[in-house]
Homo-oligomer: A and B are copies of this chain.
Amino acid sequence: MNLVVILVSPRNPLNIGAAARAMQNLGCQTLRVVNPYHVAFREAVSAVSAAPLLKAAQEYPTVSEAVADCSVVVGTTSIGHRELQHPLLLVEPGAKLIRKARGKAALLFGSEKFGLSNDDLSHCQWLMRIPTVDQSRSMNLGQAVAVCLYEIARRDKAKPISMEKYKPATMGQIEQITQMLLDAGRRSGYVNPVVGTSTENKVRRMVRRLHITGRDVSMWLGILRQVLWKLEGNSK
């Protein structure tokens, strides 16, 4: 992923560290900071847990210099009251465009308090936002970075994974379990011999509604065998 994350005027060392950690988790290597609050930046870089890519982060005095080698420049916003002059995409279609970028793509995040300024935004080609609820739009910086990078890294057509990882039990095994369960029902008095057939059918249907997998058959048989053995002892 030829993506550069640019934090503009970040103020909080924990957020800088969190952004770097999300980048590391999600496979984005290049971090740049523009005009950071220096105490915070130094603190973040010198933290014991600092990601290597944070230690390698480069600092720029202006957005213009930070994006100079990029061919796509995208700003992030939670759009509040400001009137936006840019095309605005939700993060999903936006991420698709970023993945298609040729050359370096820059993704800008503004300061925790004010976001990107109009001046910062003027360096962007378009803007992207995470679909948050209207009453609570402004996300934590580290979390916004995580969500954007997740969406950019996400496979376009994620393969649907089947839940049924394991083969179902065969009908012979299912019936064996059914019979043992019925046996337990009889020995314990649950199945009444007089109206037994209808109860038997109910139990049989119920067992077939379960998704018993092949690998669970032996455990079922083990439990039932043991229970039957104990129940038998009782009827002697």
B contact residues around A223 at 8 Å (CB): 181, 184-185, 188, 190, 203
- Across the interface, name the chain B residue whose C-beta is closest to A146: B143
B contact residues around A70 at 8 Å (CB): none
- A160-B90 Cα distance, complex, nearest whole Å: 9
Known: A22-B140, A131-B154. A216 touches B212 (CB 8 A): no
- Count A interface residues, CB 8 Å: 69
- A87-B138 Cα distance, complex, nearest whole Å: 35
A93 within 8 A of B: yes
Interface 9-residue window, one of A3-11, A39-47, A61-69, A226-234: A226-234
Q: Report yes or no: A150 in contact with B153, Cβ–Cβ below 8 A.
A: no
**What is the oligomeric copy number?**
2
| A15 nearest CB across to chain B (Å) | 10
| A78 nearest CB across to chain B (Å) | 9
A230's contact among B22, B133, B140, B188, by CB below 8 Å, is which? B188
| A101 nearest CB across to chain B (Å) | 13
Q: Report yes or no: A139 in contact with B131, Cβ–Cβ below 8 A.
A: no
B contact residues around A140 at 8 Å (CB): 18, 21-22, 142, 146
Q: Which 7 A-B pairs have the closest CB atoms?
A: A143-B146, A234-B234, A188-B230, A190-B226, A188-B226, A27-B133, A92-B158
A interface with B by C-beta (< 8 Å): 14, 18, 21-22, 24-27, 51, 87, 89-90, 92-93, 96-97, 126, 130-133, 136-140, 142-144, 146-147, 150-151, 153-155, 158-161, 163, 165, 181, 184-185, 187-190, 202-203, 206, 209-213, 216, 219-220, 222-223, 226-227, 229-231, 233-234
Give me 26 A-to-B residue pairs in the complex whose CB atoms sit less than 8 angstroms apart, sorted by A's number.
A18-B140, A22-B143, A25-B137, A92-B154, A93-B160, A96-B160, A131-B153, A131-B154, A131-B155, A140-B142, A142-B143, A150-B150, A185-B226, A185-B227, A187-B230, A188-B230, A188-B231, A190-B223, A206-B216, A206-B220, A209-B211, A209-B213, A211-B211, A231-B231, A231-B234, A234-B234
